[in-house]
Amino acid sequence: MAAQVESVLGDDNALEQSVRWLRDNAPEMSAYRTLTHGQICILAGFVAAIAVGLVANARVTIVVLNLLVTALYVAAFAYKLLLARRALMHPPLVTVSDEEAMSLPDGDLPMYTVLVAAYREAGVIGRTIKAIDALDYPRDRIEVLLLLEEDDAATLAAAEAARPPAYMQVIRVPRAQPLTKPKACNYGLQFARGQLVTIYDAEDRPESLQLRRAVAAFRRLHWSVACLQARLEYHNPKQNLITRLFTAEYLTWFSLLLPALADRGGPVPLGGTSMHVKRIVVEAVGSWDPYNVTEDADLGIRLQRMGYRTAILNSVTYEEANSDFVNWVKQRSRWYKGYLQTWLVHMRHPALLRKQLGTEAFAAFTLTVGATPLIAFLNPIFWALTILWFGTRANFIQPIFPPSVYYAGMFCMVFGNFIVIYLNAIAIRATGRPELLGAVLLSPLYWVMMSVAAVKAFIQLMVAPYFWEKTTHGLEPATGATGTGSVQFHSQAPEHGRGLGASNRPDREAAAVGQ
């Protein structure tokens, strides 16, 4: 039977710390308030300026707005292309070979804390325990804290029934608002004894050598690298079209864009799981923000602002891709809401942010974190414009807007779609997954889904900013396989390379199913 942990400090204090620490000690960094007074004034002023402009000279105002939005589109997509090219030219993944990982003597390994936050995962928690147990790390140097909400009786019972090994402990997180994963993680962190900390979700299957690779990488890299984000992939890409599209998108993000961002010193929005951090650093920067629904993106930016860096580790954690449309929209709207929260929080003092991140990273922050939900939100407007244009042209009615507005809108749509398809095509080729090509060509459908999520996100941001949309897991039929090893990144053969007859298939080693 798993032991229940009694906090030395008393549960109430630990709970209070996990909710209030950041908000009380660094309110500027907390998403407790979505908008500051200053931001509200700026936003109101912007809206007023548009209103005045529309009254004074509607055509010019619309043209100017259109120009700004088109410029944003072009900048965001061109930057993504730039990142992809950089990733291809200098693959910036931190790779630790299997031999190097296995050669670390057990006595040399630091204490590792693995936090697993699970809510309403009764059906999955058994598999979770198995997957975590498959990690190759000495049992006396790892502690796994299963963070379960105290009122989640079903999951607690299922966890007990699964008979977790001794190094795994269940921690009952007392119920308190906000009901979010970062609050639970903050709570669990206070009981952590490890030097390194990582988080896994309930459906994750990390590859077995991931912790060892992280240790080796941290030792190899500069001390300022305080965080290593592993690559996330989906183990169920072929389930349906949604999972295929999702997998292609993840490949683009984790194999191309995110490593290139990290390499350029750009802001690295972390992935939610499999981010390995040094515990003293994460505690020093204020841990996770319980009010931010994409707490890891926020942590990544905050780490960078405090002078630390993130690198991407060439090790895979397999997750379950959402195969259900409604579920997918819920998850994606949470991500967009969180991105907007993150952007608003860190843009409270733009000059300071620019100084802390550097100019390129500052621009990249807006173009990746800020622009993504905004562009997804604006897409339907451009679709409406295009339909309107075809409609009025067919009816020979004078168009409502000057032609440049329609043309710019159509260009944004067409160009944006093309870049997304092309980027995805690059990513699947580079990572050796060309079978996803069919889905990649249907990326515009994916855009429609993203826009639905973006509208929901904007609404929720105003109405319920801390509400955490729970993603249902376990929609995929259970299989026995766990993650395989690191993937060879096929982008640039070595000099005087492989030539015309060379293999272009990545090396994959199958790992044994965990005990």
Partner 1 sequence: MASNVLVIRTRIQILTGIRWRPTEPQILFVLLFTVYFVAACYLTLVANVIYGDAWSRVEIAYRILSSRDPHLAAIGFIWGPLPEIPLLPLVALKALWPQLVTSSLAGGIVSSLCMAGGAVQLRGFVADAGLSRPFVWMLTAAFALNPVILMYGANGMSEAMLLLFLLSATRSLARWLRDDSLNSLILTGVFLALAYLTRYESLGAAASVTAAVALVSYVRVRRAGGQLWAVANDVLLVAAPWAFAFVVWAAASWIITGQPFEQLTSGYGNSAQVGSIYVNRTRVPTGYTAWSWTLVRLMLSQLLLLAPALPLVPLYKVGRLSRSAISLAVAAVACIGGAVAFIVAAQVAGELAHPLRYLIGVVPLAVALAGACIAANQSRQHQEGRRAAAGLSVACALTLFVALPTSAFAMLDATTDPWSFTSNRSIVSSAPDNALGGHLNWSNERKIAADLDAMHLPKGAVLVDDFLGFPIVVSSGDPTQFVITSDRDFETVVADPKGLGVRYILVPVPDVLGSLDAINRQYPGFYASGGGFASLVNEYPATGVNDTTFRLFRIN
Question: Using CB under 8 A as the criterion, which residues of the chain lie in contact with partner 1 when the complex forms?
Answer: 85, 88-89, 407, 414, 418, 421-422, 425-426, 428-430, 434-435, 437, 490-493, 495-505
Q: Going by C-beta distance under 8 Å and a sequence separation of 6 or more, which residues neighbour residue 291? A: 23, 30, 31, 32, 178, 180, 341, 465, 466
Give whichever of 417 and 472 is closer to partner 1, judged by the CB atom: 417
Give whichever of 291 and 401 is closer to partner 1, judged by the CB atom: 401
Helix, strand, coil % over all residues of the chain, rounded to 5: 55, 10, 35
Give whichever of 199 and 436 is closer to partner 1, judged by the CB atom: 436
In the complex, what is the shortest distance from the CB of residue 84 to partner 1, in angstroms, rounded to a whole number? Answer: 8
In the complex, what is the shortest distance from the CB of residue 487 to partner 1, in angstroms, rounded to a whole number? Answer: 14
Residue positions counted in the chain: 515
In the complex, what is the shortest distance from the CB of residue 438 to partner 1, in angstroms, rounded to a whole number? Answer: 8
Name the DSSP class of 141: G
H-assigned helices in 264-370: 279-284, 295-305, 325-346, 350-357, 359-365
Give whichever of 74 and 179 is closer to partner 1, judged by the CB atom: 74
The pair of three-digit structure tokens given for residue 420, joined into one six-digit string: 């997304």
Please state, in angstroms and rounded to a whole number, the distance separating the CA atoms of residues 73 and 69. 6
Please state, in angstroms and rounded to a whole number, the distance separating the CA atoms of residues 126 and 133. 11
Give whichever of 189 and 413 is closer to partner 1, judged by the CB atom: 413
In the complex, what is the shortest distance from the CB of residue 477 to partner 1, in angstroms, rounded to a whole number? Answer: 24
The pair of three-digit structure tokens given for residue 475, joined into one six-digit string: 């929609």
Give whichever of 105 and 499 is closer to partner 1, judged by the CB atom: 499
In the complex, what is the shortest distance from the CB of residue 398 to partner 1, in angstroms, rounded to a whole number? Answer: 15
Give whichever of 477 and 501 is closer to partner 1, judged by the CB atom: 501
In the complex, what is the shortest distance from the CB of residue 408 to partner 1, in angstroms, rounded to a whole number? Answer: 12
- From the number of C-beta atoms within 10 Å of its C-beta (0-12, 13-18, 19+), residue 106 rates as exposed
In the complex, what is the shortest distance from the CB of residue 77 to partner 1, in angstroms, rounded to a whole number? Answer: 13
Q: Token pair 């300071």 is at which residue?
A: 352
Give whichever of 383 and 407 is closer to partner 1, judged by the CB atom: 407
Burial state string for 175-201 with b = 16 or more CB within 10 A and e = fewer than 16: ebebbbbbbbbbbbbbbbebbbbbbbb
DSSP states along 435-462: GGHHHHHTHHHHHHHHHHHHHHHHHHHH
In the complex, what is the shortest distance from the CB of residue 238 to partner 1, in angstroms, rounded to a whole number? Answer: 13
Strand partners, 116: 146, 200
Please state, in angstroms and rounded to a whole number, the distance separating the CA atoms of residues 477 and 320. 10
